[in-house]
Chains A and B, each alone.
Chain A
């Protein structure tokens, strides 16, 4: 056996074991090999090919997997089974594992003097062992070929966070960790692609949208290299999501319709298909095409219901209520929100329950029921968010309270809420979009309270919000500019 410089020295022990199994043992031998870098796995397979007569069976999209055993039978010393990751996707392909489990004897009979190496991601080995216990029981060895640098990565992956609800400093720390790790990679694994995606999410919330777009492009490329259509599709969707936030609805819609929706359909992934259709409906809603939005959301709802996905059904029902609200069908919207509340209560999903309460109160506001709406924001939704430690939710609820105060003419109280409660939360979360909206609203409140006293402050706030909006290329730029013109104000830098 020769040692290749292409291989990591930390795998020498397990590679030696594999060589021993090949040379010192006989009969059918099944080996589980854990890996997390496809390129490194292929390199290993290539190296083994120099010493042994081997073949590769790709389990991916191979309905005749067990029959292919017969054709390959016993002609090789080493057989690699790859493409197994699709067995673990949330569709019906887990049945392939059951089938393989039942075909254990067939496999052993076909490869009476062959080492069969089943390549699986490390975490998939556990699932495989449980779902195919009989085949697992015949294992000769479980070898670990996780690539070296990914050890650090695994700890990063374990730290996945809720980017919407983590403090700014933690987001930045996370970004630093991701950046440091990614910089060290010569070749990116598929898992790295997920890190790029996460990085994009964080950057997006921090309002660094160009960087977010660049990160998501990396994720796309990695997924494309590995021919992982699902991962590529999810990256495309994130790309389009950022475009939506920037107001580039046309391009976003094209991506959803041409690059995302058909792929999920082809993959048979109903869940993601429905999710994307929901996003398309949202664009229609933003474009004011409420009829189309409603039709699309109803289609989304029927898919989720057929899948038995209660949570997503409830979310979609809430979105339908939102469209009805926008159409002016307030009573119908209220009825549906009530229905949604009952579902979230059953599901014990407090965060979604609180958000639905807020939306229901929004309708009540529209009906002129300000007191009732305030009661809901202040004493029903906000305490839930506070109890959950959901800062983003707390900011949303407090903003609504501020709006009611504003509507009631309680301007000073509204200002206090925006200045002392809402803005600090968005700053703490590093939510650039939230900060921008807040600054603009504070400027408008100050204008109403006393424009003369607060002129400089208003000008500063408008300029700050304009700068942020321009950085993010938001449609709100026009509105801020119009306000500045109306007030006869100017910004020095931009």
Chain B
């Protein structure tokens, strides 16, 4: 395209063939870019290497090193880690967790078990028993897939628990048929794995005996916890000997999707049961939990994944390292030749506020504006920003503008935690950065109501 553009610019006479070629190229590149701007799948560290960008240095104080330090293996220290990993929706949590999983899944570190709660359970009205059963299921399957030999004695209790508590107490014939079908004459770990698969399947599909299962697990929880811990303890030893990782680490993604009240119930109310399982855990959590006072920090180690900090609060100077990284992020998805001027990329980055999904959205809006008929120009950027701002406007109450202006006008120490700010953070109207300061989303600041509130404030 760049070559074609040069030729077109050099030769201003109309050349239909050349224009046709150029238009085809433009169309191809636009379509390719549009495909790269999908956000319905987190990036896979192995499969999506061409799109991945290292962003650790761009998130202010958040440093992966701190998290890795917390998760360091000290063989003389058997303390288990219970970590909450939270941040804004769309800031890249799932992608970061998958990268972290790949990094930690090493012989001298962890045997990482990634549990996608959205896939494994019905997270509507999530209960600790659901998630622990899912963890058991995924672990059993992974051990089996990796051909890890577990001594039957160490999973016999889990098997017993299943037989005594679940099979004998659930009278539902459908469930019995399902269990029977799931465990066709097999024995050992595969047998147990299939039993747990049937069990979690019943929970995730919201079957009629879901509540019955939950009730039984809750009533016999100490037995289950004991048996599960027995399996984990032994598995860790076998894994270490097999050079497959020294400890088991469960990374639970999807629990950030919980609504505020359900998240409170799960992370506060069920914390004691969650912590009875003796392994290491990283739970993904919604940002609202991180602004809850007190207890959450006592029960979990909390890590925030903030927005990419493109600038300090109220500073006109943009961080060149972050800007470069985000340009790399853009150019891996949208060919640079599709922009009429490189400065437009910077403009889009600035308006994204460092929020990756919104940067993708702004780019996607720009492409829609061009209709694959022209390059992204200033008008397309302007329309894209306006479109996103209008969408955010729907989430802002009239009284919020004053509050947003107030927060933006203060220095970075001003973080008035309250119901309204919690809602604004949840809705991404207000963005949180490290080292822990807040600022309204840049597109929100373009809204007339914001400008009016600002004029009134000053």
B34, A24: Cβ atoms closer than 8 Å: yes
- Asked if A3 is an interface residue, CB under 8 A from chain B, the answer is no
Query: Smallest CB–CB gap between A183 and chain B, Å?
Result: 32
**A105 — which chain B residues lie within 8 A by C-beta?**
40, 118-119
Query: Smallest CB–CB gap between B125 and chain A, Å?
Result: 9
Please measure, in the bound complex, the distance between the C-alpha atom of A139 and the C-alpha atom of B387, giving whole angstroms.
12
A130, B427: Cβ atoms closer than 8 Å: yes
24 interchain pairs, CB-CB under 8 A: A20-B368, A20-B371, A21-B368, A24-B34, A24-B368, A24-B371, A25-B368, A27-B40, A28-B38, A28-B40, A98-B259, A102-B123, A102-B124, A105-B40, A105-B118, A108-B40, A125-B394, A129-B394, A130-B395, A133-B89, A133-B426, A138-B39, A140-B364, A142-B390
A102, B257: Cβ atoms closer than 8 Å: yes
**A20 — which chain B residues lie within 8 A by C-beta?**
368, 371
Q: Which of A24, A102, A142 contacts B372 (CB 8 A)?
A: A24
Please measure, in the bound complex, the distance between the C-alpha atom of A27 and the C-alpha atom of B90, giving whole angstroms.
19
Please measure, in the bound complex, the distance between the C-alpha atom of A104 and the C-alpha atom of B119, giving whole angstroms.
11
Q: Which of A28, A101, A126, A130 contacts B257 (CB 8 A)?
A: A101
- Asked if A26 is an interface residue, CB under 8 A from chain B, the answer is yes
B427, A129: Cβ atoms closer than 8 Å: yes
Query: Smallest CB–CB gap between A142 and chain B, Å?
Result: 5
**A141 — which chain B residues lie within 8 A by C-beta?**
368, 387
B31, A24: Cβ atoms closer than 8 Å: yes
- Asked if B391 is an interface residue, CB under 8 A from chain A, the answer is yes
Please measure, in the bound complex, the distance between the C-alpha atom of A25 and the C-alpha atom of B33, giving whole angstroms.
10
- Asked if A479 is an interface residue, CB under 8 A from chain B, the answer is no
A102, B122: Cβ atoms closer than 8 Å: yes
**A142 — which chain B residues lie within 8 A by C-beta?**
390-391, 394
What is the count of residue pairs linking A and B with beta-carbon distances less than 8 angstroms? 65
- Asked if B180 is an interface residue, CB under 8 A from chain A, the answer is no
- Asked if B357 is an interface residue, CB under 8 A from chain A, the answer is yes
Instruction: Kindly list 14 other residue pairs between chains A and B, CB separation below 8 angstroms, not including A24-B368, A27-B40.
Output: A24-B372, A27-B38, A28-B40, A102-B118, A102-B123, A102-B124, A102-B257, A104-B118, A126-B394, A126-B395, A129-B427, A133-B89, A133-B426, A138-B40
**A133 — which chain B residues lie within 8 A by C-beta?**
89, 426-427
- Asked if B241 is an interface residue, CB under 8 A from chain A, the answer is no
Query: Smallest CB–CB gap between A362 and chain B, Å?
Result: 41
Query: Smallest CB–CB gap between A134 and chain B, Å?
Result: 6
A134, B357: Cβ atoms closer than 8 Å: no
Please measure, in the bound complex, the distance between the C-alpha atom of A137 and the C-alpha atom of B355, giving whole angstroms.
12
B119, A27: Cβ atoms closer than 8 Å: no
Query: Smallest CB–CB gap between A14 and chain B, Å?
Result: 11
What are the 5 tightest A-B residue pairs by CB atom distance, in nearest-first order?
A108-B40, A126-B394, A27-B38, A102-B124, A102-B123
A26, B39: Cβ atoms closer than 8 Å: no
- Asked if A99 is an interface residue, CB under 8 A from chain B, the answer is yes
* Chain A stretch 123-152: residues in CB contact (< 8 A) with chain B: 125-126, 129-131, 133-134, 137-142
**A139 — which chain B residues lie within 8 A by C-beta?**
391
- Asked if A230 is an interface residue, CB under 8 A from chain B, the answer is no
A137, B90: Cβ atoms closer than 8 Å: yes
**B103 — which chain A residues lie within 8 A by C-beta?**
none
**A224 — which chain B residues lie within 8 A by C-beta?**
none
B391, A98: Cβ atoms closer than 8 Å: no
Q: Which of A95, A126, A134, A140 contacts B89 (CB 8 A)?
A: A134
Query: Smallest CB–CB gap between B401 and chain A, Å?
Result: 15
**B34 — which chain A residues lie within 8 A by C-beta?**
24-26
Please measure, in the bound complex, the distance between the C-alpha atom of A24 and the C-alpha atom of B370, giving whole angstroms.
11
- Asked if A473 is an interface residue, CB under 8 A from chain B, the answer is no
- Asked if B66 is an interface residue, CB under 8 A from chain A, the answer is no
- Asked if B163 is an interface residue, CB under 8 A from chain A, the answer is no
0/1 string, A306-325, CB within 8 A of B gives 1: 00000000000000000000
Please measure, in the bound complex, the distance between the C-alpha atom of A138 and the C-alpha atom of B360, giving whole angstroms.
11
Please measure, in the bound complex, the distance between the C-alpha atom of A95 and the C-alpha atom of B124, giving whole angstroms.
9
Please measure, in the bound complex, the distance between the C-alpha atom of A25 and the C-alpha atom of B118, giving whole angstroms.
27
Interface residues on B, range: 20 to 34
Please measure, in the bound complex, the distance between the C-alpha atom of A137 and the C-alpha atom of B34, giving whole angstroms.
17
0/1 string, A93-118, CB within 8 A of B gives 1: 00100110110110010000000000
0/1 string, B373-405, CB within 8 A of A gives 1: 000000000000001001100110000000000
- Asked if A405 is an interface residue, CB under 8 A from chain B, the answer is no
**B423 — which chain A residues lie within 8 A by C-beta?**
130
- Asked if B272 is an interface residue, CB under 8 A from chain A, the answer is no
Query: Smallest CB–CB gap between B309 and chain A, Å?
Result: 21
- Asked if A17 is an interface residue, CB under 8 A from chain B, the answer is yes
Q: For B364, give the chain A residue with the smallest CB separation.
A: A140
Please measure, in the bound complex, the distance between the C-alpha atom of A102 and the C-alpha atom of B123, giving whole angstroms.
7
- Asked if B35 is an interface residue, CB under 8 A from chain A, the answer is yes
Query: Smallest CB–CB gap between B80 and chain A, Å?
Result: 29
Please measure, in the bound complex, the distance between the C-alpha atom of A101 and the C-alpha atom of B262, giving whole angstroms.
14
B368, A17: Cβ atoms closer than 8 Å: yes
**A26 — which chain B residues lie within 8 A by C-beta?**
31, 34-35
Query: Smallest CB–CB gap between A20 and chain B, Å?
Result: 6
**A131 — which chain B residues lie within 8 A by C-beta?**
259
Please measure, in the bound complex, the distance between the C-alpha atom of A26 and the C-alpha atom of B35, giving whole angstroms.
7
Name the residue among A24, A104, A125, A129 with the largest chain B CB count within 10 angstroms.
A24
B257, A134: Cβ atoms closer than 8 Å: yes
Please measure, in the bound complex, the distance between the C-alpha atom of A131 and the C-alpha atom of B260, giving whole angstroms.
10
Q: For A26, give the chain B residue with the smallest CB separation.
A: B35
Query: Smallest CB–CB gap between A108 and chain B, Å?
Result: 4
Query: Smallest CB–CB gap between A147 and chain B, Å?
Result: 19
Q: For B390, give the chain A residue with the smallest CB separation.
A: A142
A137, B427: Cβ atoms closer than 8 Å: no
Q: For A112, give the chain B residue with the smallest CB separation.
A: B40
Q: For B122, give the chain A residue with the smallest CB separation.
A: A102
Q: For A142, give the chain B residue with the smallest CB separation.
A: B391
**B119 — which chain A residues lie within 8 A by C-beta?**
105
**B426 — which chain A residues lie within 8 A by C-beta?**
130, 133
Please measure, in the bound complex, the distance between the C-alpha atom of A126 and the C-alpha atom of B391, giving whole angstroms.
9
Please measure, in the bound complex, the distance between the C-alpha atom of A102 and the C-alpha atom of B124, giving whole angstroms.
7
Please measure, in the bound complex, the distance between the C-alpha atom of A95 and the C-alpha atom of B31, giving whole angstroms.
37
A137 in contact with B89 given A27-B40, A98-B259, A99-B124 (CB within 8 Å): yes
Please measure, in the bound complex, the distance between the C-alpha atom of A140 and the C-alpha atom of B257, giving whole angstroms.
20
Please measure, in the bound complex, the distance between the C-alpha atom of A20 and the C-alpha atom of B218, giving whole angstroms.
52
0/1 string, A10-27, CB within 8 A of B gives 1: 000000010011001111
Query: Smallest CB–CB gap between B398 and chain A, Å?
Result: 13
**B372 — which chain A residues lie within 8 A by C-beta?**
24
Please measure, in the bound complex, the distance between the C-alpha atom of A142 and the C-alpha atom of B388, giving whole angstroms.
9
Please measure, in the bound complex, the distance between the C-alpha atom of A141 and the C-alpha atom of B384, giving whole angstroms.
11
0/1 string, A63-105, CB within 8 A of B gives 1: 0000000000000000000000000000000010011011011
Query: Smallest CB–CB gap between A67 and chain B, Å?
Result: 9
0/1 string, A136-175, CB within 8 A of B gives 1: 0111111000000000000000000000000000000000
Q: For B396, give the chain A residue with the smallest CB separation.
A: A126
Query: Smallest CB–CB gap between A150 and chain B, Å?
Result: 18
Please measure, in the bound complex, the distance between the C-alpha atom of A40 and the C-alpha atom of B146, giving whole angstroms.
58
Please measure, in the bound complex, the distance between the C-alpha atom of A17 and the C-alpha atom of B123, giving whole angstroms.
34
Query: Smallest CB–CB gap between A163 and chain B, Å?
Result: 26
B395, A98: Cβ atoms closer than 8 Å: no
**A21 — which chain B residues lie within 8 A by C-beta?**
368
Please measure, in the bound complex, the distance between the C-alpha atom of A395 and the C-alpha atom of B351, giving whole angstroms.
58
A98 in contact with B124 given A17-B368, A24-B34 (CB within 8 Å): yes
Q: For A101, give the chain B residue with the smallest CB separation.
A: B257
**B259 — which chain A residues lie within 8 A by C-beta?**
98, 131
* Chain A stretch 450-465: residues in CB contact (< 8 A) with chain B: none
Q: For A125, give the chain B residue with the smallest CB separation.
A: B394
**A28 — which chain B residues lie within 8 A by C-beta?**
38, 40
Please measure, in the bound complex, the distance between the C-alpha atom of A142 and the C-alpha atom of B89, giving whole angstroms.
19
**A27 — which chain B residues lie within 8 A by C-beta?**
35, 38, 40
* Chain B stretch 13-51: residues in CB contact (< 8 A) with chain A: 30-31, 34-35, 38-40
**B122 — which chain A residues lie within 8 A by C-beta?**
102
Please measure, in the bound complex, the distance between the C-alpha atom of A105 and the C-alpha atom of B364, giving whole angstroms.
20
**A104 — which chain B residues lie within 8 A by C-beta?**
118
